[in-house]
Amino acid sequence: MQKYSIFNLVKNAFSNHENWDLAWKDPTPKEEYDVVIIGGGGHGLATAYYLAKEHNITKVAIIEKGWIGGGNVGRNTTIIRSNYMHDENALFSEFGMDLWRKMSQDLNYNVMFSPRGIINLAHSDAQMNAYARRGNSMRLNGIDAVLLNREQVKEIIPMADFSEDVRFPIFGGLMQPSAGTARHDAVAWGYARQADSMGVDIIQNCEVTGFDVTAGKINGIRTSRGNIKTKKVGLCVAGSTNILAEKLNMTLPIETHLLQACVSEPVKPILDRVVTFGAGHFYISQSDKGEMVMGGDLDGYNSYAQRGNLPTLQHVLTEGIAMMPFLSKLKMLRTWGGIMDMSMDGSPIIDKTHIDGLYLNCGWCYGGFKATPASGWTFAHTIAQDRVHELNAGFSLNRFSTGHLIDEKGLGTKTWIS
C-alpha cells in the first residue's frame, strides 16, 4: 500500500495523480473466512481493522448491503465526546478518545480530528447542580470537565442569546475541552483502507439473506452473492439489527428509529465549539466548510425510512434559534435522516449471544459515531478471544433481564421518548 505522505504527494504530482493505488479492492467473496463482519459502516470497518491489527486475524470479510460508509457513519453530526456520568460509558468513551487522538497517524489518513471542546448549556440552577455532579463524576474517571458560569460561557460563545427575558436563560454550562469533531467519511475510508491492506476483504453490494446455525453454533451465512462458511459472525448493522435478528429468531431490546440532521449554507467562521441546548435536544457545530451542522430529536416513531419529516425538523430548529438567534437568518442547505438502533436504556450492547460464534454490536442510539474506534476495538477483542473485554463487560445483552441497566439519561425503557 502506498503511504500517504508529502513525499508521495509530490511524486504523484509528476504523473498528474493518475497512478495512485486504489484505496481498497473489490474482491469476490471467498468460500470461507475466519470471521465475517456484517455491516461496512464505521463500527464494522473498525472491528475488521482491529481484528487484523491487534489479534492477527486477517482472513476476515466485511459484508455490506450497499456501499461502505453509506449508513450512519456518513450521516451523523461528527461529534466526539466522553462526557458520561456512569462508569461503563465514561471509561469506554474515554478509551475511545485516546484512539481518536492517535487515529490520523495510526491509519495514515487525515480524519481531521478537531478537539474543539463541547459545551452543554444549563438553563436553571437545578441543571447547574446536575452538571456539577456529572462533571465531578467525569473527573473521577479521569475525563476533563469544566463547569462554566454564565459570564464564562458568554466569553466563549457570545453569539448565543444572553438576554434576560428569554424563556430559557443561560445559567452556565458543562464543558469537556478535549471533545470535538472529526471528518466522518474519512474515518470510514481510513479504516477501510488499512483493513484492506492487511488482507481483509471488503465486499460491497452484498446482502445477507440468512444464517446457517446448527446445534446452537454458527456455521456460515447466506448472501445475495453466495454462501460463505465461517465459525464467527459479528453483527454491526445499527438500524438493521432487528431485521437480521428476526432471521436468527431473536428479539432484542432494540427499536429502530429515525434521526435527522441538517446543515445550513456555509458562512464565515463564527462557532469554534460544539454546543448543545440544555432545555431541549439540539446540538450544533460549524464544519470546516463553514456550514452550521445541526441535529436534535428523533422523529419519534419506528422507522426504516432514512428520510425525515418536517415537524421534527421545525421543532429542533426552533430550539436552535432560541439558543442562537442568528441561525434564523441562514438558509438551509441540506437535511437528511439515518436509522438508529435505539436500545431500551440508551446504552449500547457489545456482547456474545446464545448462539455460539455470533457476536452482537448494536444499540448505539444517538452516540454511534464517537464510539467508532472503541466499539471496533472492544468488539474485535470480544470476537477474537470469545469473551468480553472489561471495557464492554457492562454493555451486556442480559443486563435487561438482570436489572443492570445503564440508564445514562434516566429515560427508562423507552429511550426514544425524550
Contact with another protein (CB under 8 A): which of 246, 265, 272, 390? 246
Regarding 9 and contact with another protein (CB under 8 A), the answer is no
Q: Which stretch binds another protein (CB under 8 A): 76-84, 176-184, 384-392, 409-417?
A: 409-417
Nearer to another protein, 154 or 281 (CB): 281
Please give the size of the binding site for another protein, defined by CB under 8 A: 25
- Min dist CB 210 to another protein, Å, is 16
Regarding 408 and contact with another protein (CB under 8 A), the answer is no
142 phi-psi bin (left φ>0, alpha ψ -120 to 50, beta other):
left
Nearer to another protein, 105 or 251 (CB): 251
Regarding 121 and contact with another protein (CB under 8 A), the answer is no
Regarding 209 and contact with another protein (CB under 8 A), the answer is no
Element containing residue 283 per DSSP (H, E) = strand 282-286
Give the number of other CB atoms < 10 A from CB of residue 35. 26
Q: Among residues 332, 361, 341, 345, which one has the least CA distance to residue 401? A: 345
Regarding 414 and contact with another protein (CB under 8 A), the answer is yes
Q: Which long-range contacts (CB under 8 A, 24 or more apart) does 129-137 make?
A: 131/172, 131/173, 131/174, 132/174, 133/85, 134/83, 134/85, 134/174, 135/174, 137/85, 137/86, 137/90
Contact with another protein (CB under 8 A): which of 149, 301, 328, 333? 301
SS3 164: coil
Nearer to another protein, 200 or 344 (CB): 344
Regarding 400 and contact with another protein (CB under 8 A), the answer is yes
Nearer to another protein, 305 or 333 (CB): 305
- For 210-235, b/e burial (b = at least 16 CB within 10 A) is ebebeeeebbbbebeeeebebebbbb
Q: Which stretch binds another protein (CB under 8 A): 28-36, 147-155, 304-312, 320-328?
A: 304-312
Regarding 404 and contact with another protein (CB under 8 A), the answer is no
Regarding 354 and contact with another protein (CB under 8 A), the answer is no
Looking at residue 128, what DSSP letter applies?
Answer: H
Nearer to another protein, 235 or 275 (CB): 235
Looking at residue 410, what DSSP letter applies?
Answer: -
Regarding 311 and contact with another protein (CB under 8 A), the answer is yes
Contact with another protein (CB under 8 A): which of 237, 254, 330, 360? 254
Q: Among residues 260, 276, 265, which one has the least CA distance to residue 315? A: 260
Residue with cell 446504552: 347
**Polymer length in residues for the chain:** 418
Longest CA–CA span in the chain (Å) reads: 68
Query: Which residues contact another protein (rule: CB under 8 A)?
Result: 242-243, 246, 251-256, 300-305, 309-311, 344, 400-401, 413-414, 416-417
